[in-house]
A and B are shown apart, each in its own frame.
Chain A
Amino acid sequence: MAQAAIELIGINKSFGAVRANRDINLEIARGTIHGIVGENGAGKSTLMSILYGFYQADSGEIRVGGKPASIKTSNDAIALGIGMVHQHFMLVDNFTVLENIILGAESDALLKKSIAKARSELERLEREYGLEVDPDAIIEELPVGLQQRVEILKALYRGAEILILDEPTGVLTPAEADHLFRILKQLKEQGKTVVLITHKLREIMAITDNVSVMRQGTMVATRETKKTTVEELAELMVGRRVLLRVEKGEAEAGNVKLAVKNLTVKDSRGVTMVDDISFDIKAGEIVGIAGVAGNGQSELLEAISGIRRAVSGSVMLDGKPIDLTGAADPGELRDRGLAHVPEDRHHVGLVLAFEENENSILGYHHDPRYLKGPFLNIDAIMADAKDKIEKYDIRPGNPRLKTANFSGGNQQKIVLAREMEQDPGVLIVGQPTRGVDVGAIEFIHKRLIAMRDQGKAVLVVSVELDEIRSLSDRILVMFAGRIVGERGPEATEGELGLLMAGVERQEAAE
């Protein structure tokens, strides 16, 4: 085995009563790509933050390149050649690429020399690793994939030999993710060590040499990637067997519940995002909309659920039109049996500062079930919240807990429970499992299938192709605001990928 780049020995870290890391031992070989997997809250990010000097371990030893290292601040980590690409980019949005790269690594008190130096260094890195990016571009004007590249460049500019990436593909399109993997492989060939934190097992299998699994703050196993399987890793992560692909019977499609006709929607800048779209969803089927993020899916969801005005077109719910001029408010649609699980649960789906029980009736608080005269019926709301907690296995099971303190997966379950338990005729779900653990994904998928089997019409929009393929009875692919194809669930990933990239459409145009 190659020499170890990093050794962690007996690392412990607690936040108050929560033991985020207990007795962690980990050895990462130089010049390899090492994956660390685990559910949300398993302690992966904490461990890496300790390595990067963001937090300090309560006890334990860190060795870098065989020598004991004391990492008290990020500066110490940078000096030891450790670079980190954070899940939420640590970039200043209105600075240029160059300014972001030199921030904290300026050569002297004036900027001129630093900028010139960074510019030539950037050219070198671009040649060596194929990391192309316009040095004078403003960060917020770059697509997410390029922003991430700037983060990688930042670390390399500081002389990083060990690169830690925290959930790097969560925000990327499949093509961008592929490109990232090529870059990582190239870094590895140049002798750099890469640590990849993720909960997407496919990525681990595709790119890593070794993989370590964390569960509830402990390191449960380290495997050579070649000698393990997705099923084994999932089981190690969750602690029980997990079904990665839900089993479901044939759909028994009934009447049309929701009919969208010639719908056109513009975004706030006036750009046409949904361009003359028509489709319908029948009772008892799941229709999945696949597509690279930003191809109009969000605007489509918003228009159907009454959040955004449509320019033209019509939407019929149970044969009756929905007013698309802005007068249709989501509350009215809810009363008519259209439930909506929004893509962005933090900004649209939940009030994070509220208690769990308050969020579990949000939007349905006018329902007489939750009222006692003009007042809220706290007892009824609590009983209702407890009921949902039990049914949806929301953890921790305390309805008085602030929603912000739940993990992403459990927050998603709170929203799903609220919308599904209203027994809607039509359920619209955006990104059902974004940022959700493997175990919870299985649960959410089962619930969606159950809704279908009860004869509900379900619309699922997701950027996760696997999810779309595993859930949908029919798959619609969106590209540049249009539906460019419809396929059955048996469609291959490659076929859908081409549609998502707009290939077929361009060929037809030529």
Chain B
Amino acid sequence: MDIFIAIVQILDSTIRLSVPLLLACLAGLFSERAGVFDIGLEGKMLVGAFAGAAAASVMHSALLGLGMAILISVAFAMIHGFASITHRGNQIVSGVAINFIAAGSTIILGQAWFSQGGRTPALQPGERFEGIILPGANAVREVPILGPIYSELLSGHSILVYFAFAMVPFAWWVLFRTRFGLRLRAVGENPAAVDTAGISVAWLRYRALICTGVLTGVAGAYLSMVQNGGFVKDMTAGKGYIALAALIFAKWKPVNAMFACLLFGFLDAAAIRLQGSPLPIVGKVPVQFMQAMPYVLTVILLAGFIGKAIPPRAGGVPYVKER
């Protein structure tokens, strides 16, 4: 039974840890499916996290914090759009620049406004998103097997966790069942086809980037307002890049993206859980090894274990009319 509880707990933290990855991964899905590579997921999450925590702590409202996180993140997405869609700049360079601006500006502004070494003040209750206890969660706690699964694993998460997982079918539906989705996928494959069909390539790609901005904003807010009680510098810690790896691993499909992110989340959760405790057969494993696992896995997966991943064909290429 102890092992069962331990597994439930690991899975529970798997869910919590995979949420920011999942949101970022879906964010990347929208922009890459539209043909805009976005290496700046990391930066947009970071400014979202900062803006969310800062606004929540100043305005004493978690919702206003979330709104600000989304607003600032979308603004950064628009900068990326302006550089890479309107001015046809290199999408990688623009994305990297956004990551640098995000890393630097959050620390400078944080220090200037709050004087806590780049942190934002610790968020008080009401300024962060609290866990939601699903109906009957406490009542079924003692039921064997299903009880802990329902009350521990499914219940007790913040609204943003449920939002993130609800976004998976929603993103699928938008991409594959709506006009907007059809056009968005088309523009990532062959923008000239979209252009000659009388649809604006630029406006379509901007709208895709707005979706990206909203999702990275929520991802950032989750980091600083749910997982942590405030903003800490560089708190995204490479999650934006792992999300990109997950996106490739998922072959640019929403449901695959969820499983890819859960896998990365699981490795993270297992690494935390198993720190210091001996493993069967191999014995005691250094902490650093476990912490490195998600990154090692990323490299292995990307090195070709995933079969052929075909990216959107027009990805990374600014659209220029012939001649």
Name A's B-contacting residues (CB within 8 A).
15, 52, 54-55, 73-75, 78, 84, 86, 88, 90-95, 99-100, 102-106, 108-112, 114
Contact = CB atoms under 8 A, between A and B. Distances in A.
A75 B195 CA distance: 9
B196 interface: yes
Contacts of B196: 52, 54, 74, 84, 86, 90
B180 A103 contact: no
| Binding site secondary structure of chain B | helix
29 contacts: A54-B195, A54-B196, A54-B321, A73-B198, A74-B195, A74-B196, A88-B192, A90-B190, A90-B192, A91-B190, A91-B193, A92-B185, A92-B190, A92-B193, A93-B189, A93-B313, A95-B185, A95-B189, A99-B182, A99-B186, A103-B194, A103-B197, A103-B199, A104-B183, A104-B194, A106-B179, A111-B177, A111-B178, A111-B181
B190 to A, nearest CB: 5
A86 B196 CA distance: 9
Interface of B: 177-183, 185-186, 189-190, 192-199, 313, 321, 323
Contacts of B180: 109
A82 B191 CA distance: 20
Contact of B186 (A73, A103, A110, A111): A103
User: Quick one: which of B178, B182, B183, B186 has the most chain A CB within 10 A?
Assistant: B182
Contacts, number: 68
Given A74-B195, A86-B196, A103 B178 contact: no
> Which 7 residue pairs are nearest across A and B when measured between Cβ atoms?
A104-B197, A75-B198, A90-B193, A106-B179, A74-B198, A90-B196, A92-B189
A336 to B, nearest CB: 37
Contacts of A95: 185-186, 189
A103 B182 contact: yes
A421 to B, nearest CB: 32
Contacts of A86: 196
A45 B84 CA distance: 29
Given A91-B190, A93-B190, 4 more contacts: A86-B196, A103-B182, A104-B194, A106-B182
A84 B197 CA distance: 10
Contacts of A114: 179
B206 to A, nearest CB: 17
B186 A109 contact: no
A6 B63 CA distance: 59
Contacts of B197: 74, 90, 103-105
Contacts of A106: 179, 182
A103 B193 contact: yes
Nearest to A95: B186
Nearest to A73: B198
A102 B198 CA distance: 12
Given A90-B193, A93-B190, A103-B193, A78 B179 contact: no
Contacts of A84: 196
A55 B197 CA distance: 14
B177 A94 contact: no
A93 to B, nearest CB: 7
B32 to A, nearest CB: 15
Contacts of A91: 190, 193
Contacts of A52: 196
Contacts of A78: 198
Nearest to A110: B178
Contacts of A15: 323
Nearest to A18: B323
Contacts of A75: 198
A112 B177 contact: yes
A455 to B, nearest CB: 44
A326 to B, nearest CB: 22
User: Quick one: which of A88, A95, A112 has the most chain B CB within 10 A?
Assistant: A95
A99 B175 CA distance: 13
A86 B190 CA distance: 14
B3 to A, nearest CB: 45
A75 B194 CA distance: 11
